[in-house]
Amino acid sequence: MKPNQAFLAFVAILFLIITCHQAVAQQPVRAERSDQLTRIAVKLYQEKKFDQAKERLIEAVRLNDRNVKAHEMLSLIYYQERDFKQATEHARKAIAINKNTAGAYYVLGMMSYQNGDTESARTELNYAVKFLKNGERRAHAQRILNQIRDQLPEGRRPLIRERIKQFREGETGVNVDVDAYQPYIAVFTFEESGSRSQSTGLGQTVTEMVITALIQEGRFAVMERGQLQKILAEQSLSQSGVIDTESAIAVGKLAGLEAVVLGSVSRLKSAIEADVRLIEIETGKALAAANSKVTDVDNIRNLAVKLAAQLGDKANLIEPRIEKPDSSDKKFEQ
């Protein structure tokens, strides 16, 4: 080897050694910064500033790809946004790093349930219930597990009045817990009203966000959009999902629903406003109404969360009446 070549090789090796040393030296700093960003993201998430939280978490995993908390939280945020591909990716990364990552199992379980894969949902949600520290999320996972357990052969979970009938007919182990009951509902695509909101897809976007928020609230069992679209197609109704009240009630009866959510969204000069109604299938009455308004499109998720919370507060209005048995009805008294 010529002297010049030997010198260049020496310089290259020296540069490589220095670079590797710097990278190793920076690892603790990068990990610390990643953890710091994650802590900030947790606070932002609790304040419902989801977009800002996501930005911090993306940077956190860029600095340290083994930050399990950042991957777990990203999976939850992407699930809220219905970006199931990203949600799955981050959930699986979190579990690969720590197999006891409860939030990741919760996300995978909820996606499996919504896709109709009840076996996977049962396994994943059982893990979630086992490891979750968040009491509200753990209770929601348990309610979904109860629905899977009680699911009827045709795919519709039993109504509480059916459980009481089973109990009176002598079947054992039938749960008639009214307090934990989740009315079965569907959310139809919100109508876009006003020239500023028409043909922008705003109604569809807000609808999807309200569905996600209702699922997270855990007060209703929400029909998956794919199932609803299938019924609409079979009945030759609007494929956009925007239909009138009478048609929505007819669909609700076919699907075994207890209520439907209809609404409209308007984009005004200085705000975006949405109005929704919760309509009982059996009576056709509007049991509740909700309204929310935000000043710009970046905050429409907050609008959806507020609407879902208002509707969730009215879930008990759909509780079916339970007739008290007379004294001779020994089976019900047991």
> What is the mean predicted confidence (pLDDT) over 307-331?
60
d(CA 310, CA 278): 10
267's enclosing H/E stretch is strand 259-267
Each domain of the chain, given as residue ranges in start order, spans: 15-149, 182-318
d(CA 312, CA 314): 5
Q: What are phi and psi of 278, to 5 degrees?
A: -105, 115
Report the sign of the C-alpha dihedral through residues 184, 230, 247, 187, in that order: positive
Nearest-CA neighbor of 307 among 239, 232, 212? 212
Contact at 8 Å (CB) between 91 and 75? yes
On whether the pTM is more than 0.75, the answer is: no
Higher pLDDT, 323 or 235: 235
Q: What is the pLDDT of residue 147?
A: 75
Q: What is the pLDDT of residues 72-115, one digit of tens each?
A: 999 999 988 888 899 999 999 999 999 889 999 999 998 888 77
Higher pLDDT, 206 or 229: 206
Fold category of 182-318 in CATH: Rossmann fold (3.40.50)
d(CA 114, CA 181): 19
Q: CB neighbours (10 Å) of residue 154?
A: 6
Q: What is the pLDDT of residue 333?
A: 35
d(CA 272, CA 152): 41
- Helices in 47-101 by DSSP H: which ranges? 50-63, 68-80, 84-97
d(CA 186, CA 318): 14
Tokens encoding 164: 């009481």
Query: For residue 184, with 0-12 CB atoms within 10 Å meaning exposed, 13-18 middle and 19 or more buried, which class applies?
Result: buried
d(CA 110, CA 144): 8
Q: What is the pLDDT of residue 241?
A: 58
Q: What are phi and psi of 220, to 5 degrees?
A: -130, 155
Q: Tell how strand 259-267 and strand 184-187 pair up.
A: parallel
Fold category of 15-149 in CATH: 1.25.40
